[in-house]
Structure 1
Amino acid sequence: MHRLTPLAILTTCALLAGCHDGPLFALKTINPVYRSQWAEDQKLGPTDVQRREELQRLVTSMPSLSDADQEYWLKHVEALLENDKNPEMRTLAIRALEGCRSQRVIDLCEKQLSDESIKVRMAVCDVLATRDEARSTQLLGETIGSESNEDVQMAAIAAVGKHRSPEAAQALKASLRSRNPAVRVASVESLGECTGKNLGEDPQVWVAYLDGKEVDEEKKSLTRQMRDLF
Structure 2
Amino acid sequence: MHRLTPLAILTTCALLAGCHDGPLFALKTINPVYRSQWADDEKLGPTDAQRHEELQRLVASMPSLSDADQEYWLAHIEALLENDKNPEMRTLAIRALAGCRSQRVLDLCEKQLTDESIKVRMAVCDVLAVRDEARSTELLGTTIGSESNEDVMMAAIAAVGKHQSPEAAQALKASLKSRNPAVRTAAVESLAQCTGKELGEDPQVWVAYLEGKAVDEQKKSFTRQMRDLF
**TM-score category of the 2 structures, normalised to the smaller one:** 0.7 to 0.9
Match of 2:194, SS state, is helix
Aligned equivalents of 1:214, 1:226: Cα separation in 2: 28
How far did 1:133 drift?
A: 1.2
- CA-based RMSD: 1.9
Aligned equivalents of 1:211, 1:42: Cα separation in 2: 60
Residue 170 of structure 2 corresponds to which residue in structure 1?
Answer: 170
CA shift in 2, pair 1:108/1:177, >3 Å: same
Work out whether 1:8 is the aligned partner of 2:64: no
Work out whether 1:187 is the aligned partner of 2:187: yes
How far did 1:225 drift?
A: 2.9
- 1:76-130, Cα deviation, whole Å (9 max, x unpaired): 0000000100000000000000000000000000000000000000000000000
Higher relative contact order (CA closer than 8 Å, sequence separation 6+): 1
Aligned equivalents of 1:195, 1:63: Cα separation in 2: 28
1:8 partner amino acid = K
Pairing of 1:1-230 with structure 2 (within 5 A): 1-3=2-4, 4-6=23-25, 7-11=27-31, 43-230=43-230
- 1:18-53, Cα deviation, whole Å (9 max, x unpaired): xxxxxxxxxxxxxxxxxxxxxxx9843100000101
2:176 partner amino acid = L
Q: Percent identity?
A: 82
How far did 1:210 drift?
A: 0.1
How far did 1:223 drift?
A: 4.2
Q: What's the TM-score once normalised by structure 1's chain length?
A: 0.85
2:30 partner amino acid = L
Aligned equivalents of 2:109, 2:128: Cα separation in 1: 7
Given that residues 10 and 51 in structure 1 are in contact (C-alpha distance below 8 angstroms), is that contact kept between their aligned partners in structure 2? no
2:177 partner amino acid = R
Aligned equivalents of 2:154, 2:137: Cα separation in 1: 15
Aligned equivalents of 2:55, 2:224: Cα separation in 1: 40
Aligned equivalents of 1:8, 1:107: Cα separation in 2: 21
Given that residues 98 and 127 in structure 2 are in contact (C-alpha distance below 8 angstroms), is that contact kept between their aligned partners in structure 1? yes
Name stretches of at least 5 consecutive residues in structure 1 with no aligned partner: 17-40
1:151 partner amino acid = D
Q: What's the TM-score once normalised by structure 2's chain length?
A: 0.85
How far did 1:2 drift?
A: 1.6
